[in-house]
Amino acid sequence: MEILQRLKIFIKENFLAVLTLLALVGINILNQMNMGDSGNFFWKNLIWQTFGLLIFLVITLYFDYRRISLELIWILYGLMLLLLIILALFKKRWLVLGPLSFQPSEFLKIIIIYLLSLIMEKKKNLKLETGEALFLLVVIALPLLFLLPVDLDYAFIIGLMFVSFLLALGFPKRLFIGLCSIFILIMVIAVPIVWNKLKPHQKGRIYGYLDPEKYYKTWGYQLNQSLIAIGSGGVKGQGFQKGWSTRLNYLPAKNTDLAFSVWAEAFGFLGNTLFLFLYGYLLFWGLNLSRKAKDYLGRSLSLGIVIIFLWQAFFNIGGATGLLPMTSIPQPFLSYGGSVTISTYLMLSILFNIAFRKYFFK
C-alpha cells in the first residue's frame, strides 16, 4: 500500500514525464506495426517492450540507485571486458545463447556511466587531477579497443558519449585540448594505414555518404532510399502502412537502423515533429532532474543517461537524413532490437528511480 501511495504521488508530480514515456512506447509499437511485415518483428518487438516495461517498473519502484557499490560495478566492468575480448577473438558483435542473442556494447554504456559516477562520488573534491583524469580515460578506452575490430562505428560513438560525459564531470580542459591535439596529429599520420585496414562495407559507407548519387545502386543505396522515404512523407505523411518504400521493402534495415525513415514516410513532418518534441521533452526532464538531485550520484547518472540518449538520436537521425555517415546505432523508441530495448529501459528505470526516490534540494 505504501508503494502504491508513493506511486500516485510520483505520477502526480511527474505526470508529463510519465505521459511522454507512454507516448514514446506507443510510437515504437505503432512504428513497428507500420512496417507492414508478416508480423514477426512486431510480435518480437511487443515481447521485448513488455519485458522492458516490467524491468522498468520493478527497478523504478523497488530499487535504490544508491545501493549499487563501486565494487560490484568493477566486477561487472571486468566481466564485460572479458566478454568483449572473447567476441573480438571470434570477430563477433553479438553473443548468441540458444534462441537469444544480445549486443554487449549496449550494456557497456550503463556500466561505464555508473562506474565513472561512482568513482567521482568517492572523491573528496570533484576536481580531477591529471593522473586521475588519465586513469578514467584508460577505463573508457580499454573496452573500446576490443570493440573496435568488430564494430568500428559503434565503438567511436560510444567513446564520444563517454568522453562527453567525462568533460561534463570536470575533465581538465587543458589536458583535453592537449590530448585532442595529439589525437588529431596521430590520425593525420595514420589515416592511410587506417583506410587500408577498413573493411569494404566500412569504406562503402563513406563513399555512399560523400557521393550518394554516384553510388545509388551500391554504397549509396541505403541513404538514397532513406531520403526518398523521408521526402515522400511530405507534411502529413502517406499514412499508416501506406508508405511505398516501406511496403515494397525498398528501404533496407527498416526495422532497425532506418526506423526513423519509416516513421517519417508514414507520418511526415508533423509526425517527426511530434516524435522529436516528445523525445526532447524526456531529455529536458532528465536534465532538470540532474539539476534538482541533491546527491552527486543522482546528478551525474541522470546527466550521463541524457547524454547517451542525445548522441544516439544525433547519429541515428543524422545518418538517416544524410547529415552524417550511416551508422548501425539504433534510435530508441523507434527501432527494433532486444538489446537496445532492454538497455533503454534500464537507463530509463535509473532515471525514473532517481525521481522516485526524491533525494532533491528543497
Q: What is the pLDDT of residues 5-56, one digit of tens each?
A: 777 888 888 899 999 999 999 999 999 998 876 567 788 889 999 999 999 9
DSSP β-bridge partners for residue 102 = 95
Q: How much is the average pLDDT of 259-273? A: 94
157 in a domain, yes or no? yes
324 in a domain, yes or no? yes
8 in a domain, yes or no? no
More confident residue, 352 or 255: 352
Highest mean pLDDT among 39-43, 84-88, 158-162, 345-349: 345-349
Q: Give the domain range for residue 157.
A: 13-357
3 in a domain, yes or no? no
d(CA 103, CA 337) in angstroms, rounded, equals: 9
Q: How much is the average pLDDT of 99-121? A: 89
322 in a domain, yes or no? yes
**Nearest to residue 299, comparing CAs of 126, 124, 60?**
126
Average pLDDT, the chain: 86
Q: How much is the average pLDDT of 76-98? A: 87
The torsion region of residue 125 among left (phi > 0), alpha (psi -120 to 50) and beta comes to beta
Instruction: Return the axis-axis angle of helices 15-33 and 40-62, rounded to nearest 10°.
Output: 160
All three cell numbers of 184: 588529431
Q: Provide the pLDDT confidence category of residue 110 given band limits of 50, 70 and 90.
A: very high
d(CA 158, CA 118) in angstroms, rounded, equals: 19
| Count of domains observed in the chain | 1
Per residue in 186-233, pLDDT tens?
Answer: 777 766 776 676 677 667 677 777 777 777 777 778 888 888 999 999
Of 4-18, 63-77, 79-93, 310-324, the least confident: 4-18
Torsion of CA 108, 109, 115, 116, to 10 degrees: 140
362 in a domain, yes or no? no
35 in a domain, yes or no? yes
Please report the pLDDT score of residue 99 as a whole number: 73
Q: How much is the average pLDDT of 293-314? A: 93
Q: Provide the pLDDT confidence category of residue 124 given band limits of 50, 70 and 90.
A: low
**Whole-prediction pTM value?**
0.91
User: Hey, which bits of the chain come out as E strands?
Assistant: 95-97, 100-102
Please report the pLDDT score of residue 202 as a whole number: 67
Per residue in 331-362, pLDDT tens?
Answer: 999 998 889 999 999 999 999 999 988 754 43
Q: How much is the average pLDDT of 102-116? A: 91
> 181-185 contacts: CB < 8 A, separation 24 or more?
none
33 in a domain, yes or no? yes
Percent of the chain with pLDDT over 70: 93
